[in-house]
């Protein structure tokens, strides 16, 4: 049975405030000069510091308080295993060639090199009708989310899963698609929050969802780890078709799927007419610091006036982006080669084994735990608790960093997210500490 934590550590009020330190000398020399430029009102609507920098700040404070403690991070989803040698060597060789007259290259195509675009289409979208020219290589999926928001503009209505990766909501606020936040619920006006939890198999009740222009959908979901089934995605595509909506489908964790669930929205017939897919090399090949991702915009996806969406996205890319790093793209190509692909899959398998260890740990403690099978994340339920309280309690008593579920939306209030991206010895040590606490 679940035993409630003492929850004696209340959320720090500083989580809502900047952490800049002003010295006495700064204060004495400060001159209250102000421009006549008004602050962007959409920035004023943002509720707090972005979630993950806030977690990093909390970690830094804890390490200052306990300088001798060995802090283990099961929080921010940052990979830890070294890049495969075939991938790192490819990037190193490309970088070295840039020092030669024959090997030097300057600007590349904003859409990415043709070889990589073709390799992505053939590797991840084989037999789905996706062509290399529909693939746009980028510096990461999160950057592409903001570019898509720029493409859609402020007049679009949006729907999101709840809970969901916070970048979708925050970028919507910044672009001006939302109203003010409702203090009691924590939800923004003009956003359709589609609640996803154990009660509905982590898939929204579409019969009760309002029609919106854009539907942000992540599978496997971050943070819950749920991979939508084929039947669920068929319902999602059908819902978009009936309402004339566009799905922005985030498949960044697709290669962690083990149960046969679709790895791409384009496995569903008709999706090419209603969906854009965003993905990344970050969690597949360990490129969190290298920065490389892609977005697929099918030629068959059209606006209400019949104009191809791909043409406008191409214009956004050419205006706002000079193309992904040539060195990073060389690494991407290497990771999709025969030997590179095998090495990359071994990285994914390593993190899957970490997830199994953590899943067994939490379940053995009687805690309802979701995810950890088709994703590197575990979604752990602490009934009746506040997720920031649980976060603080675990950090204070075990020196383990997690992520409070409320950072992903109102539906995450009683949950914490735990990541399997860690060194095996740290995962085992974290398991031992959690067993001692809980």
Claim to verify: residue 397 and residue 350 sit in the same structural domain: yes
Quick check: 94 pLDDT over 60? yes
Domain contains 412:
yes
Distance CA 401, CA 395 (A): 6
Reply yes or no on whether the pLDDT at 6 is more than 60.
Answer: no
Domain assignment present for residue 361? The answer is: yes
In a domain, 31, yes or no: no
Tokens linked to 309:
């969406």
Identify whether residues 185 and 312 lie together within a single domain: yes
State whether 346 and 334 are in the same domain.
no
Cα distances (angstroms) measured from residue 89 to each of 292, 348, 426: 17, 20, 28
pLDDT of residue 122: 98
- What is the structure's pLDDT at 32? 85
Here the CATH number for the domain that contains residue 364 is 3.90.1150.10
Q: What is the pLDDT of residues 331-371, one digit of tens each?
A: 999 999 999 999 999 999 999 999 999 999 999 999 999 99
Quote the pLDDT of residue 10.
41
C-beta atoms surrounding 358 within 10 Å:
26
Q: Is residue 28 part of a domain?
A: no
Range of the domain at 263: 85-338
Local confidence band at 5 (pLDDT 50, 70, 90 cut-offs): low
Confidence of residue 48 (pLDDT cuts 50, 70, 90): confident
> Mean pLDDT across the stretch 313-338?
97
209 and 256 housed in the same domain: yes
d(CA 255, CA 374): 8
Same domain (yes/no): 346, 332: no
| pLDDT tops 90 at residue 235 | yes
> Region 229-252: what's the mean pLDDT?
98
Residue 17 has pLDDT above 50, yes or no: no
**HEC profile of 31-88:** CCCCCCCCCCHHHHHCCCCCHHHHHHHHHHHHHHHCCCCCCEECCCCCCCCCCCHHHH
In this prediction, residue 419 carries a pLDDT of 97
Interval 264-285 mean pLDDT: 98
Q: Which of 338, 357, 379 is the last residue of a domain?
A: 338
Determine the pLDDT at residue 438: 82
45 to 171, 180, 281, 311, 411: CA distances (angstroms): 11, 6, 32, 32, 20
Average pLDDT over residues 139-153: 97
**pLDDT at residue 207 is higher than 50:** yes
What was the pLDDT predicted at 347? 97
Give tens-digit pLDDT for 60-90.
999 999 999 999 999 999 999 999 999 999 9
More confident position, 67 or 7: 67
**Which region among 11-20, 312-321, 416-425 has the lowest average model confidence (pLDDT)?**
11-20
Cβ-proximal residues to 52 (8 Å cutoff; 6+ apart), any chain: 76, 403
Q: What percent of the chain has pLDDT over 90?
A: 88
**Domain boundary residue, one of 278, 305, 338:** 338
Q: Do residues 107 and 69 share a domain?
A: no
* CATH number of the CATH domain containing 265: 3.40.640.10
**16 pLDDT above the threshold of 50:** no
pLDDT at 24: 58
What local confidence, expressed as pLDDT, does residue 13 receive? 40
Confidence check: pLDDT of 18 > 70: no
Number of domains observed in the structure of the chain: 2
Distance CA(107)–CA(232), nearest Å, equals: 42
Residues 329 and 392 in one domain: no
169 & 146 share domain = yes
Same structural domain, 185 and 289? yes
Is 78:288 a contact under the CB 8 Å cutoff? yes
Q: Given this model, what pLDDT does residue 183 score?
A: 81
Give yes or no: residues 196 and 52 share one domain.
no
Domain stop point among 294, 309, 338: 338
Mean pLDDT of the 50-58 span: 88
Judge whether residue 12 has pLDDT over 60: no
Would 3 be classed as within a structural domain? Answer: no
Model confidence at 4: pLDDT above 60: no
Q: Please determine, for residue 184, whether its predicted confidence score (pLDDT) is greater than 60.
A: yes
Res. 50 pLDDT band, cuts 50 70 90: confident
Instruction: Please report which confidence band the pLDDT of residue 11 belongs to, taking 50, 70 and 90 as the band edges.
Output: very low
Whether 19 is in a domain gets the answer no
* Residue 23 forms part of a structural domain: no
Whether residue 64 is contained in a domain is answered as yes
- SS3 readout for the chain: CCCCCCCCCCCCHHHHCCCCCCCHHHHHHCCCCCCCCCCCHHHHHCCCCCHHHHHHHHHHHHHHHCCCCCCEECCCCCCCCCCCHHHHHHHHHHHHHCCCCCCCCCCCCCCCCHHHHHHHHHHHCCCCCCCHHHEEEECCHHHHHHHHHHHHCCCCCEEEEECCCCHHHHHHHHHCCCCCECCCCCCECCEEEEECCHHHCCCCCHHHCCCCCEEEEECCCCCCCCCCCHHHHHHHHHHHHHHCCEEEEECCCHHHCCCCCCCCHHHCCCHHHCEEEEEECHHHHCCCCCCCEEEECCCCCECCCCCEHHHHHHHHHHHHCCCCCHHHHHHHHHHCCHHHHHHHHHHHHHHHHHHHHHHHHHHHCCCCEEECCCCCEEEEECCCCCHHHHHHHHHHHHCEECEEHHHHCHHHCCEEEEECCCCHHHHHHHHHHHHHHC
Question: Do 356 and 233 reside in the same domain of the chain?
Answer: no
What is the predicted pLDDT for the residue at 8? 42
- Note whether 110 and 131 are same-domain residues: yes
């Amino acid at each position: 049975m679940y035993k409630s934590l003492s929850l004696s550590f209340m959320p720090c009020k500083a989580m809502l405030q900047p952490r800049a330190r002003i010295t006495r000398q700064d204060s004495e020399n400060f001159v209250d000069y102000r421009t006549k430029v008004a602050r962007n009102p959409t920035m004023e609507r943002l509720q707090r510091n972005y979630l993950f920098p806030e977690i990093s700040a909390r970690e830094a404070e804890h390490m200052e308080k306990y300088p001798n403690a060995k802090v283990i991070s099961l929080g921010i989803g940052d990979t830890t295993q070294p890049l495969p040698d075939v991938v790192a060597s490819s990037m190193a060789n490309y970088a070295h060639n840039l020092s030669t007259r024959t090997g030097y290259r300057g600007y590349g195509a904003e859409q990415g090199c043709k070889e990589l675009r073709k390799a992505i289409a053939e590797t991840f979208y084989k037999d789905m009708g996706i062509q290399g020219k529909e693939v746009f290589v980028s510096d990461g999926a999160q950057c592409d989310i903001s570019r898509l928001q720029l493409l859609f503009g402020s007049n679009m209505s949006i729907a999101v899963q709840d809970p969901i990766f916070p970048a979708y909501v925050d970028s919507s606020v910044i672009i001006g698609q939302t109203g003010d936040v409702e203090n009691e619920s924590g939800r923004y006006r003009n956003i359709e929050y589609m609640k996803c939890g154990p009660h509905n198999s982590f898939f929204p009740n579409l019969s009760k969802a309002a029609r919106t222009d854009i539907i942000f959908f992540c599978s496997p979901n971050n943070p819950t780890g749920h991979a939508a089934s084929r039947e669920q995605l068929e319902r999602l595509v059908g819902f978009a078709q009936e309402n004339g909506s566009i799905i922005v489908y985030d498949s960044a964790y697709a290669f962690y799927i083990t149960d046969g669930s679709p790895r791409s929205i384009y496995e569903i017939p008709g999706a090419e007419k209603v969906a854009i897919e965003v993905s990344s090399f970050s969690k597949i090949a360990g490129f969190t610091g290298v920065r490389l991702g892609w977005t697929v915009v099918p030629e068959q996806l059209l606006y209400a006036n019949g104009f191809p969406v791909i043409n406008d996205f191409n214009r956004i890319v050419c205006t706002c982006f000079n193309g992904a790093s040539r060195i990073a793209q060389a690494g991407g190509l290497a990771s999709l080669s025969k030997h590179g692909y095998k090495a990359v899959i071994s990285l994914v398998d390593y993190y899957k084994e970490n997830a199994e260890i953590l899943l067994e740990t939490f379940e053995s403690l009687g805690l309802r735990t979701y995810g950890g099978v088709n994703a590197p994340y575990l979604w752990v339920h602490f009934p009746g608790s506040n997720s920031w309280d649980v976060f603080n309690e675990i950090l204070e008593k075990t020196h383990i960093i997690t992520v409070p579920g409320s950072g992903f939306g109102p539906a995450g209030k009683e949950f914490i997210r735990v990541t399997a991206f860690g060194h095996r010895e740290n995962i085992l040590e974290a398991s031992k500490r959690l067993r001692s606490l809980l």
